[in-house]
């Protein structure tokens, strides 16, 4: 007796598409789509975009933003900020032959309780002494701490992406040694505020 064939199920028919939205600080703009058979499976997924896509400003295409899905409602996947960084090609373009740089990494805390890890690069036209590097790092740390403490998370991120933080650090650090420029190369979320801190 011949066995009855069972039609194979198409796994794609059981899956749904979800529209990925940027966080509130970026006006919940649509930044992509993702697919899954269950909404809980897309929790934690990361998506990369850039400031040009979010703002329309061509001059900010080198600023990359990585968001993480933290909530799903219906067909919408909401995200939170995870990391902001400058593209490698942009950073390479800032370094010329005989240039040197002072890289720094500091943890800072915003007025509303977000802990962020900030990476910076101070670019110089010549080599400098270790003591000068230390002094430049101290200025950068002091300025980042002051700016973050006086701004909430959304304001601080805006200060970084508009270049205001880099400009302020450059203005202070160049008093130690003539700098070519200062870049905040990366901002990463380390810890969100607790419910008590956010209240």
Tell me the per-residue pLDDT of 163-193, one tens digit each, with 9 for 90 and over. 999 999 999 998 888 899 999 999 999 999 9
Residue 28 has what pLDDT? 95
Domain boundaries, the chain: 15-86, 88-198
CATH number of 88-198, picked from 3.40.50.2000, 3.30.479.30, 3.30.43.10, 3.40.50.460? 3.30.479.30
Strand ranges, E, within 60-112: 63-73, 76-86, 100-109
Do residues 189 and 109 make contact, with C-beta atoms less than 8 angstroms apart? no
Residue 99 has what pLDDT? 79
Q: Is 198 exposed, middle or buried (0-12, 13-18, 19+ CB in 10 A)?
A: exposed
Can you say whether the dihedral through the CA atoms of 67, 69, 71, 73 is positive or negative? positive
pLDDT single digits (tens) 54-110: 999 999 999 999 999 999 999 999 999 999 999 999 998 888 777 789 999 999 999
Q: For residues 120 and 11, which has the higher predicted lDDT (pLDDT)?
A: 120
Strand partners, 67: 47, 81
Residue 126 has what pLDDT? 86
**Over pLDDT 90: what percentage of the chain?**
74
SS3 assignment, position 198: helix
Place of tokens 């966080």: 23
- Tell me which of 111-115, 149-153, 169-173 is least confident: 169-173
Place of tokens 């890289």: 103
């Amino acid at each position: 007796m011949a066995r009855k064939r069972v039609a194979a199920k198409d796994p794609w028919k059981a899956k749904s598409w979800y529209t990925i939205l940027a966080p509130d600080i970026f006006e919940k703009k649509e930044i992509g789509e993702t697919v899954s058979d269950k909404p809980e499976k897309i929790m934690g997924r990361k998506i990369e975009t850039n400031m040009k896509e979010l703002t329309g400003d061509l001059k900010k295409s080198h600023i990359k933003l990585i968001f993480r899905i933290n909530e799903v409602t219906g067909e919408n996947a909401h995200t939170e900020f995870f990391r902001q960084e400058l593209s490698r090609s942009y950073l390479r373009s800032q370094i010329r032959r005989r240039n040197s740089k002072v890289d720094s990494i500091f943890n800072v805390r915003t007025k509303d309780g977000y802990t962020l890890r900030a990476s910076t690069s101070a670019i110089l036209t010549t080599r400098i002494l270790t003591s000068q590097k230390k002094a430049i790092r101290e200025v950068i740390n002091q300025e980042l701490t002051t700016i973050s403490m006086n701004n909430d998370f959304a304001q601080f991120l805006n200060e970084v992406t508009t270049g205001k933080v880099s400009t302020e650090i450059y203005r202070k650090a160049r008093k130690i040694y003539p700098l070519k420029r200062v870049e905040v190369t990366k901002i990463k979320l380390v810890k969100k505020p607790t419910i008590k801190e956010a209240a």
